[in-house]
Amino acid sequence: RKEVEQDPGPFNVPEGATVAFNCTYSNSASQSFFWYRQDCRKEPKLLMSVYSSGNEDGRFTAQLNRASQYISLLIRDSKLSDSATYLCVVTLTGGGNKLTFGTGTQLKVEL
Amino acid sequence: ETGVTQTPRHLVMGMTNKKSLKCEQHLGHNAMYWYKQSAKKPLELMFVYSLEERVENNSVPSRFSPECPNSSHLFLHLHTLQPEDSALYLCASSQDLAGASPNEKLFFGSGTQLSVL
C-alpha cells in the first residue's frame, strides 16, 4: 500500500461546480497534513494546512478523518484558475524528515 | 516569488558531463531540501540539510552529490547521470526541519528541468 494515495484524475468539471478530492494515508502516526497546489510546469505551493477540526479558506474546505486515515479538499464555485494538480502531503513529526507527498490529483475546470 | 531561487531552469546534459544545480533561499530558513519529481510519480526526497548539516540521504546514487556551504545555499552536483535521471529537480526550504515540528511548511523553488541524453 502506498504511504499517501490519491486518485490521479483528471477531474474535469464545469466552472462553478463543486469538486472534492480525497487522500488516504497508511501511517496512523501521521500528525500534520497539508494540501499543496502545483500548476503545470511550476513548483508546488502550499494551499492550506489541514487541522483536526476541519478548516476553511474562502472557497476551499479541508477535512481530516483520523479514524479512516484520510483527508479531503472541497472546492466550491470552481474557477478556471483552479485548474492545477493538488498534492496531498502527510508528515510524521518527532524527529527526522518524514514529509510524504501523494502523486497528486489533476483538476481541469472548463467553461 | 517564493524566496527560493533555482538555476538553471533547464539543463540538457550528456551522460559523461558534470554539472551543478544551484539553489538560494532568501527567507532566513534553517532547513533545505532536494526533491526529484518524475512524471506520474510523487515527489521523492533526495537530501535534507538542517543548519548546513546533512540529516538525510534517501539512498540516492552517488552520481548525485549535494553541498551546503551555508544555510542560504544548496548545490546538487551531477556526474555521469543516466537517462532515467531526467526529471524536474526541486529545491525547497523551511524555517525548521519538516517533521521535527508540526505544521512546518515547505517553500519550493521553480525547479530545474533536467534532460540526460
Check pLDDT > 80 for residue B97. yes
If you average pLDDT over every residue of chain B, what do you get? 92
Which residue from A minimizes the CA distance to B58? A97
Distances B109 to A11, A78, B51 between C-alpha atoms, Å: 27, 27, 19
> Closest to A31 (Cβ–Cβ): which among B33, B97, B102?
B102
Predicted local distance difference test score (pLDDT) of residue B90: 97
Band of residue A20 on the pLDDT scale cut at 50, 70, 90: very high
> Which of B73, B76, B84 lies closest to B112, judged by CA?
B76
Asked whether B53 and B88 are in contact (CB, 8 A), the reply is no
The helix/strand/coil state of A80 is helix
Band of residue B52 on the pLDDT scale cut at 50, 70, 90: confident
- Which of the residues A5, A43, A50 would you substitute to probe the B interface, choosing the one with the greatest number of B C-beta atoms within 10 Å? A43
Predicted local distance difference test score (pLDDT) of residue A29: 85
Asked whether B51 and B37 are in contact (CB, 8 A), the reply is no
Q: In what order do the strands lie in the sheet with B18-25?
A: B4-7, B18-25, B73-79, B64-70
Q: Please name every residue paired with A11 in a beta bridge, in sequence order, or none if there are none.
A: A107
What is the C-alpha end-to-end distance of chain B, expressed in Å? Answer: 31
Condensed to tens digits (0 to 9), the pLDDT of residues A52-82 reads: 889 999 999 999 999 999 999 999 999 999 9
Which residue from B minimizes the CA distance to A105? B40
- Using CA atoms, how far apart are residues A87 and A47, in angstroms rounded to an integer? 9
Based on C-alpha coordinates, what's the Rg of chain A? 14
- Which of the residues B105, B113, B114 would you substitute to probe the A interface, choosing the one with the greatest number of A C-beta atoms within 10 Å? B105
- Min Cα–Cα distance to chain A from B86, Å: 15
